[in-house]
Structure 1
Amino acid sequence: MGVNIITKRMLMVILQKILRSIDEGIHVINNEGVTIVYNEAMAELEGMPIEEVLGESLLDVFPSLNQETSTLLKVLKTEKPIINKSQSYLNNQRKQISTISTTIPLYYENEKIGALEIAKNITKFKNLSDEIMRLHQELSRPLLKMNKIKNYTFEDLIGKSPVFIKAVQLARRAANSSSTILIYGETGTGKELFAQSIHYHSQRHNKPFIAQNCAALPESLLEGILFGTTKGSFTGAIDRPGIFEQASGGTILLDEINSMDLQLQAKLLRVLQEGYVRRIGGLKDIPIDVRIIATTNKKLIDMVEKGGFRRDLYYRLRVVSINIPSLWERKEDIEILTDYFIKKYNSQLHKQVWMLSEEVKEDFLCYEWPGNVRELENLIEGAMNFIQDEHILSRDFFPEYIVIHKGKNNQQDTLVSLETNKSLPEVLHSIEEQYIISTMAYYNGNITQAANKLGIKRQTLQHKLKKYGIDANQD
């Protein structure tokens, strides 16, 4: 049996294929600082033709760099790796490039032969980060905040279901303290509305409220946004306060904190425990006075058990814990919310819609609402964009997946074959049992609502549920 032998030439061909196919930029220099490997991804990232970089001295190609600011040259000199470093620099066309890179020294037979850099382009993220910081600074100005930003209060939280009222009452009580709060709720349940309501009902109401989505940016950029940067901490860095400083005396909302990297979680925990921040690259400890409200759409305790979230940070955040129910858990609020959104978009879209049709009301009660209140609002807004002179939102204005087509439980489902061996009482009991099961399912196990639909007393329905062994919510 023959043995496949990979020659040096074959290995070079394979290496070239790899360098051309990967998304990350690869840049290798030798001991003299001359580029010996420069792949297409790096050329596209830096906007440089490969032929202008290969075989050239690094500092000739990138005049804005020097022995200290170039990670490649620094690693070549110190022989110490630099991992996940953020940097911004100019190419020879004076175009600014922002990257996150890892740079390591290269050895052959225990002798240093150069340095390798693997870079990922974050120029767009960097620009986004700068814009976010600019907006955060703008939002901290009281005049702008009062004139342009919608401030939500508890009066904007709409609902009458017991589980929702319980969450609102807990939030109202929490507003009177400065303890950290963890809010759990599915996407679209209104977590930020709760957070703002708590802030504007607290003693901090006249101080800044700044929200930051932890899933929107890479860890390196998010760290700078949270804690600020010091000039010279990395290439292109400037003295800039983070939102912990900007929100002094106020509240910070850390949205989707479940997306935060474990390393950044450790830094956040230190800030919460010690009460001060240190800007990236800085030496000065800056005292802070902010309240933290964190929101999550995943159960953090499950992430803790799986190692995806720090246990100590979890307990530090959930001093007060608030669970916002899904729309499926508060079906009695669907009609109230629907009326509210109809009024809202009547005003905005200059319509004269009165209500939903009875069929759509039934459809809404049967639908599971994975997008919760936000999905309901978007559906109402979308339907009202299509309506013209009509005053009632019928099925024609909603997508098919919302509509529950009649006929699934038609007569054929309940008719009993004459060939059955059951007696009349047995057949009647079977029909009664199935009808009760269907009705209880329709009202999500609510005994009171199901009894009203069936036209019997609540106690009578409870007796029949026990008789047929049907589970129900004890409302």
Structure 2
Amino acid sequence: MNAGRLLIVDDERVALRNLEHILKKAGHEVTATTSGSNALVLLQKLPFDLVLTDLKMEKMDGMQVLRRSRELAPDTEVIMITGYATLDSAVEAMKEGAFHYIAKPYRIEEVRQVVIEALEKVQIKRENRALREQLDGFQGRVKIITQDPAMLKLLEMARQIGPTGCNVLITGESGTGKELFARYLHEHGGRPDGPFVAVNCGAFNEELLANELFGNEKGAFTGAIGKPGLIETANGGTLCLDEVTEMPTAMQVKLLRVIQERELLRLGGTQPVKVDVRIVAATNRDMVELVKNGRFRQDLYFRLNVVNLHIPPLSARCDDIPLLAYHFLNKCSSLMRKAVTAIDPQVLDLIKVYDFPGNVRELENIIERGVALCTSDTIEIALLPDSLRALALHSPRRKEGKIPTLDEQEKDYIRWVLKETNGNQTLGAQILGIDRVSLWRKLKRYNLEKG
């Protein structure tokens, strides 16, 4: 938030006009009044981002203005300004919720900077509320948080094919939420109250996977007590086969028979068991390539791939990142019983340009870490993992509320490259793609020779 709507309250007209001039020159929309009671009337009529009020005034002092402002406009920040600064009054103002306490005579730059910081806090609160309101709009037992057009199209397709009961192949990188999509399909299928059973095919060897999927008859092997497998357990519902490409070839043949005949044989069994199961398979691998290489049966591939839902990586839907970040913030702060309610805008800007090799799972991990380490109500850059903090060093970001110039970005980047190369200018010039003489000129231009 570069410019804001400000309300200034001071019964000294000269001081009022001076501060009004300073803040208007800084680009803010300013309303000024000499009366505390009139300030409250204005607060009821107009939306303000920030109130700057003198502490000592006749009839209604700044502390009364502060208290009533918090009641009338909770999102509006208040800065106290006084020529009678004492420790007690400062402590009282901060306890009542003042954003800052400035003593007269103040430095112009100090006021400008405090106003910028207060407006940034207002922006955080508004973005926080907007994202929470958006999250409240997602309904259903299985919530997939997205506003991305490609994802919304996938969800529409899932709802469309849900009641048909056809088998579905879900593809996408690790951590994109393939099992969650499988649950969404089940939720919107013809039998949402039926069982949903998920199994990771890569977590078992061939013998254990056969036992898990098909079950066994008593005495089929040492220790076999006779139990139904996961396919039977999913009867009347959905079986989700995650990492289906890790299934051994012999097991693929057995699964193909289940799909074609709608029946199975338990290990050690002689009587087929009828099953009615929808199969949703998921993988992060290229199944077409695996079929070509003979590592996955083509006939099973066609049986599973009646409809393919390909989930895009998180980096391809950056507009979802703030929504998901706040979703995980709500979840983690509730589980940890911590009053962490906001994410610093600089953090949101940074994670929107991060490539997220771990996708949604990695984002959840980052937010969980932030909540665990947070000692205030806001996750800030200092709480991010080292890899993300390193990215922050050379990512474009605002400075004192202003977008940096190209020269400022170049200066920061050159400084960072030389730091990474331990001051080796020859190597630094190679990384920058310029000759050493050009680098020397830039160092001189930006006064970085000594650094």
* TM-score band, normalised by shorter chain: 0.5 to 0.7
What's the counterpart of residue 360 of structure 1?
347
Q: C-alpha distance in 1, partners of 2:306/2:331?
A: 36
What's the counterpart of residue 224 of structure 1?
211
Residue identity opposite 2:170 in structure 1: I
Q: C-alpha distance in 2, partners of 1:231/1:399?
A: 51
Matched, 1:168 2:155: yes
Residue identity opposite 1:372 in structure 2: N
Shift of 1:408: 7.1
Secondary structure class of the residue paired with 1:295? strand
Secondary structure class of the residue paired with 1:176? helix
What's the counterpart of residue 415 of structure 2?
none
What's the counterpart of residue 411 of structure 1?
407
Cα gap change, 1:408 to 1:366, in 2 (>3 Å): closer
User: Conserved in 2, the CA contact under 8 Å of 1:205 and 1:250?
Assistant: yes
User: Conserved in 1, the CA contact under 8 Å of 2:346 and 2:381?
Assistant: yes
User: Conserved in 2, the CA contact under 8 Å of 1:252 and 1:293?
Assistant: yes
State the Cα RMSD in Å: 2.0
Secondary structure class of the residue paired with 1:158? coil
Q: C-alpha distance in 2, partners of 1:325/1:343?
A: 24
TM-score (norm 2): 0.55
Q: C-alpha distance in 1, partners of 2:208/2:271?
A: 20
Residue identity opposite 1:387 in structure 2: C
Cα gap change, 1:184 to 1:371, in 2 (>3 Å): same
Shift of 1:395: 1.1
Shift of 1:171: 1.0
Aligned pair partner of 2:302 in 295, 309, 315: 315
Structure 2: 5+ residue runs without aligned partners?
1-138, 397-405, 412-451
Secondary structure class of the residue paired with 1:254? strand
Aligned pair partner of 1:396 in 382, 400, 405: 382
Secondary structure class of the residue paired with 2:282? strand
Cα gap change, 1:401 to 1:338, in 2 (>3 Å): same
What's the counterpart of residue 402 of structure 2?
none
What's the counterpart of residue 141 of structure 1?
none
Residue identity opposite 2:251 in structure 1: L
User: Conserved in 1, the CA contact under 8 Å of 2:350 and 2:395?
Assistant: no
Residue identity opposite 1:242 in structure 2: G
Shift of 1:170: 1.1
Shift of 1:343: 2.0
Q: C-alpha distance in 2, partners of 1:164/1:297?
A: 17
Q: C-alpha distance in 2, partners of 1:171/1:316?
A: 18
Residue identity opposite 2:378 in structure 1: I
Cα deviations by residue, 1:398-451 (Å, 9 ceiling, x for unpaired): 111012233578628769xxxxxxxxxxxxxxxxxxxxxxxxxxxxxxxxxxxx
Q: C-alpha distance in 1, partners of 2:383/2:217?
A: 54
What's the counterpart of residue 251 of structure 1?
238
Secondary structure class of the residue paired with 2:164? coil
Q: C-alpha distance in 2, partners of 1:186/1:154?
A: 24
Shift of 1:351: 2.5
User: Conserved in 1, the CA contact under 8 Å of 2:168 and 2:279?
Assistant: yes
Aligned pair partner of 1:349 in 327, 333, 336: 336
Cα gap change, 1:267 to 1:349, in 2 (>3 Å): same
Q: C-alpha distance in 1, partners of 2:394/2:165?
A: 55
What's the counterpart of residue 177 of structure 1?
164
User: Conserved in 1, the CA contact under 8 Å of 2:169 and 2:282?
Assistant: yes
Pairs aligned (count): 263
Q: C-alpha distance in 1, partners of 2:340/2:222?
A: 57
Cα deviations by residue, 1:97-118 (Å, 9 ceiling, x for unpaired): xxxxxxxxxxxxxxxxxxxxxx
Cα gap change, 1:407 to 1:370, in 2 (>3 Å): closer
Q: C-alpha distance in 2, partners of 1:173/1:165?
A: 12
Aligned pair partner of 1:208 in 168, 174, 195: 195
Q: C-alpha distance in 1, partners of 2:159/2:329?
A: 27
What's the counterpart of residue 377 of structure 1?
364
Q: C-alpha distance in 1, partners of 2:196/2:306?
A: 20
Q: C-alpha distance in 2, partners of 1:366/1:360?
A: 10
Aligned pair partner of 1:233 in 215, 220, 226: 220
What's the counterpart of residue 194 of structure 1?
181
Shift of 1:235: 2.8
Cα gap change, 1:405 to 1:203, in 2 (>3 Å): closer
Shift of 1:227: 1.1
Cα gap change, 1:378 to 1:178, in 2 (>3 Å): same
Secondary structure class of the residue paired with 1:339? helix
Shift of 1:225: 1.2
Shift of 1:350: 2.6
Cα gap change, 1:413 to 1:210, in 2 (>3 Å): closer
Shift of 1:344: 2.1
Q: C-alpha distance in 2, partners of 1:154/1:302?
A: 36
User: Conserved in 2, the CA contact under 8 Å of 1:351 and 1:384?
Assistant: yes
Q: C-alpha distance in 2, partners of 1:396/1:197?
A: 36
User: Conserved in 2, the CA contact under 8 Å of 1:356 and 1:392?
Assistant: yes
Shift of 1:155: 5.2
Q: C-alpha distance in 2, partners of 1:320/1:329?
A: 22
Cα deviations by residue, 1:16-46 (Å, 9 ceiling, x for unpaired): xxxxxxxxxxxxxxxxxxxxxxxxxxxxxxx
Secondary structure class of the residue paired with 2:150? helix
Shift of 1:282: 1.5
Secondary structure class of the residue paired with 1:402? helix
Shift of 1:164: 1.0
Shift of 1:191: 1.1
Cα gap change, 1:368 to 1:154, in 2 (>3 Å): farther
User: Conserved in 1, the CA contact under 8 Å of 2:168 and 2:307?
Assistant: yes
Aligned pair partner of 2:264 in 247, 262, 277: 277
TM-score (norm 1): 0.53
Is the deviation greater in 182-191 or in 238-247?
A: 238-247
Residue identity opposite 2:407 in structure 1: Q
Shift of 1:349: 2.2
Cα deviations by residue, 1:178-210 (Å, 9 ceiling, x for unpaired): 111111121111111111121122221122111
User: Conserved in 2, the CA contact under 8 Å of 1:182 and 1:319?
Assistant: yes
User: Conserved in 2, the CA contact under 8 Å of 1:304 and 1:310?
Assistant: yes
What's the counterpart of residue 56 of structure 1?
none
Shift of 1:338: 1.2
- Give 4+ residue runs of structure 1 displaced > 3 Å after superposition: 152-155, 405-410, 412-415
Aligned pair partner of 1:293 in 280, 286, 289: 280
Residue identity opposite 1:251 in structure 2: T
Cα deviations by residue, 1:319-361 (Å, 9 ceiling, x for unpaired): 0111111101110100111122222223222333332223222
